[in-house]
Amino acid sequence: MMARTQITLEAETQRRARKRASDLGVSMAEYVRRLVARDLARPETSADPAAVFDLGRSEGSNIAAEKDAMIAEAFGADRRSARR
C-alpha cells in the first residue's frame, strides 16, 4: 500500500528533477521513490574521527602533532573506567 507524501522543492531543483525523470522515462513520483529507496538501501556510515582532527591548521598548537596520543589516551581512559 502506498502513502501519499507532499514535498516542496526549489523551482530549479524541481525543473531538473522533472527533466531527469523524463530522461529516464519515469514519472516524477517514481523518480523520487527510486531515490528514496536507493538512499535507504545504503548501509549507515559513521563519521571518521580523523576527518575532524585533520581540518585546517593548528597555528602553533601541538594538538595536530599529538592527536594520535591524545586519542589513545582518551580510549584508554574509557577502557579503564569500564573495567571497574
Tens digit of each residue's pLDDT (9 = 90 or more) over 3-38: 999 999 999 999 999 999 999 999 999 999 999 999
Residue 83 has pLDDT above 60, yes or no: no
57 shares a domain with 27: no
56 shares a domain with 23: no
Q: Structure pTM?
A: 0.52
What is the C-alpha separation between 84 and 77, in angstroms, rounded? 11
53 shares a domain with 37: no
41 shares a domain with 12: yes
Percentage of the residues of the chain whose pLDDT score is greater than 70: 69
Burial class (CB in 10 A: 0-12, 13-18, 19+), 32: middle
26 shares a domain with 5: yes
CA 41-47-52 angle, to 5 degrees, is 155
Buried b (16+ CB within 10 A) or exposed e, 6-30: eeeeeeeeeeeeeeebeeeeeeeee
38 shares a domain with 9: yes
Work out how many domains the chain is built from and give that number.
2
**Which pLDDT value is given to residue 82?**
55
Domain extent, residue 67, equals: 49-83
